[in-house]
């Protein structure tokens, strides 16, 4: 399931992130690449352990916490601390699949990468090229989003970032371990939840149809969730 989530960050948060990133140190993006990706990755990142990365990561995590679409579509159990990348002119990321397991920095814990997220921090007029290409069950999706918007997609998907031909494309990226590992089940729950919200706009919360649908949703989540 690929979902575009608009306005994850406010305009003030976008401006603060950009101002902070402009003052940050940028390093070769291969530092977080796996064995396969290291041969395909040509971009820049700010160091994962830097104060800027941790501060901006907290801003994004707070934004995710208040976003109902992200929580409905991802059903997050754990979220990897957000990272930040930059594609200047000529940079790209060839087709690859994300590592299945990531070590949470500074802990002994690991995270299974079920859902990948890209949060755009550059305006669409600031660069040409740089499209996120995701190969999913509906074919090849070519994605460009306004600053502050985010796209989520299964981490099992082959994906790439096309070469930037003008300007610079900045973004945050991270992974989530979902309470529901199976993408098909997660998609059904998301669609079910969206339908419940539509019904609640037309019927009172104590209507038997609303109660029945909500109960079925939670019973399915109870059956499929692994904590």
Residue 222: burial class (beta carbons within 10 Å; 0-12, 13-18, 19+): exposed
Q: What is the largest CA-CA distance in the chain?
A: 58
Distance CA 157, CA 137 (A): 9
Q: What 8-state DSSP symbol labels residue 131?
A: -
Please report the pLDDT score of residue 33 as a whole number.
65
Please report the pLDDT score of residue 65 as a whole number.
97
Is there a binding annotation on residue 159? yes
Query: Phi-psi bin for 62: left (phi > 0), alpha (psi -120 to 50), beta?
Result: alpha
Regarding whether 187 and 158 lie in a shared domain, the answer is: no
- Where does the chain have alpha helices with state H? 11-22, 51-65, 68-74, 183-202, 208-224
Please report the pLDDT score of residue 108 as a whole number.
86
Please report the pLDDT score of residue 35 as a whole number.
65
Question: Which domain CATH number covers 208?
Answer: 4.10.860
Show Cβ contacts of residue 109 under 8 Å, excluding neighbours closer than 6 positions: 78, 103
Q: What 8-state DSSP symbol labels residue 163?
A: P
Regarding whether 98 and 50 lie in a shared domain, the answer is: yes
Regarding whether 218 and 108 lie in a shared domain, the answer is: no
Own/partner pairs for 34-39, CB < 8 Å, 24+ apart? 34/98, 34/99, 36/96, 36/97, 37/93, 37/96, 37/98, 37/99, 39/94
Percent of the chain with pLDDT over 70: 98
Give 128's pLDDT tier (boundaries 50, 70, 90): very high
Distance CA 91, CA 211 (A): 51
Regarding whether 111 and 8 lie in a shared domain, the answer is: yes
Give 36's pLDDT tier (boundaries 50, 70, 90): low
Token pair belonging to 69 = 């679409």
Is there a binding annotation on residue 78? no
Please report the pLDDT score of residue 34 as a whole number.
63
Regarding whether 220 and 206 lie in a shared domain, the answer is: yes
Regarding whether 197 and 87 lie in a shared domain, the answer is: no
Give the mean pLDDT of 61-90: 97
Regarding whether 189 and 138 lie in a shared domain, the answer is: no
Token pair belonging to 193 = 């939840």
Please report the pLDDT score of residue 137 as a whole number.
79
Of 34 and 185, the one with more pLDDT: 185
Regarding whether 30 and 111 lie in a shared domain, the answer is: yes
pLDDT tens-digit map of 185-208? 999 999 999 999 999 999 999 999
Regarding whether 209 and 174 lie in a shared domain, the answer is: no
Total of domains in the chain: 2
Regarding whether 31 and 116 lie in a shared domain, the answer is: yes
Give 119's pLDDT tier (boundaries 50, 70, 90): very high
The answer on pLDDT for 167 being more than 80 is yes
Range of the domain at 108: 3-178
Pairing assessment for the beta strands 27-28 and 44-45 based on DSSP bridges = antiparallel
pLDDT tens-digit map of 82-108? 999 999 999 999 999 999 999 998 888
Question: Which domain CATH number covers 55?
Answer: 2.60.120.620
Please report the pLDDT score of residue 39 as a whole number.
78
The answer on pLDDT for 4 being more than 70 is yes
Number of CB atoms found within 10 A of residue 140's CB: 11
Of 163, 178, 193, which marks where a domain is finished?
Answer: 178
Of 149, 115, 151, 147, the closest CA to residue 132 belongs to 151
Is there a binding annotation on residue 96? yes
The answer on pLDDT for 120 being more than 70 is yes
3-class SS string, 34-61: CCCHHHCEECEECCCCCHHHHHHHHHHH
**Would the pTM of this model clear 0.75, i.e. be above it?**
yes
- To the nearest whole number, what is the mean pLDDT of the chain? 95
pLDDT tens-digit map of 135-155? 987 799 999 999 999 999 999
Regarding whether 99 and 120 lie in a shared domain, the answer is: yes
The answer on pLDDT for 37 being more than 80 is no
Regarding whether 160 and 133 lie in a shared domain, the answer is: yes
């Amino acid at each position: 399931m690929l979902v575009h989530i608009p306005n994850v960050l406010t305009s003030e948060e976008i401006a603060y992130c950009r101002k902070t990133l402009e003052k940050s140190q940028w390093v070769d993006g291969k530092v977080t690449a796996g064995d396969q990706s290291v041969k395909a990755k040509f971009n820049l990142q700010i160091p994962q352990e830097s104060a800027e990365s941790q501060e901006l990561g907290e801003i994004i995590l707070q934004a995710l916490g208040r976003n109902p679409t992200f929580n409905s579509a991802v059903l997050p159990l754990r979220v990897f601390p957000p990272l930040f990348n930059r594609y200047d002119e000529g940079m790209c990321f060839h087709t690859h699949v994300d590592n299945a397991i990531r070590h949470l920095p500074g802990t002994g814990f690991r995270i299974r990468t079920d859902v990948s997220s890209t949060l755009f921090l550059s305006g669409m007029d600031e660069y040409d090229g740089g499209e996120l290409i995701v190969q999913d069950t509906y074919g090849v999706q070519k994605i460009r989003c306004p600053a502050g918007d985010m796209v989520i997609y299964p981490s099992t998907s082959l994906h790439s970032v096309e070469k930037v031909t003008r300007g610079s494309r900045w973004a945050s990226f991270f992974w989530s371990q979902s309470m529901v590992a199976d993408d098909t089940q997660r998609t059904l729950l998301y669609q079910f939840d969206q339908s419940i919200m539509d019904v609640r706009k037309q019927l009172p919360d104590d209507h038997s149809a609303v109660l029945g649908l909500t109960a079925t949703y939670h019973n399915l989540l109870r059956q499929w969730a692994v904590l």
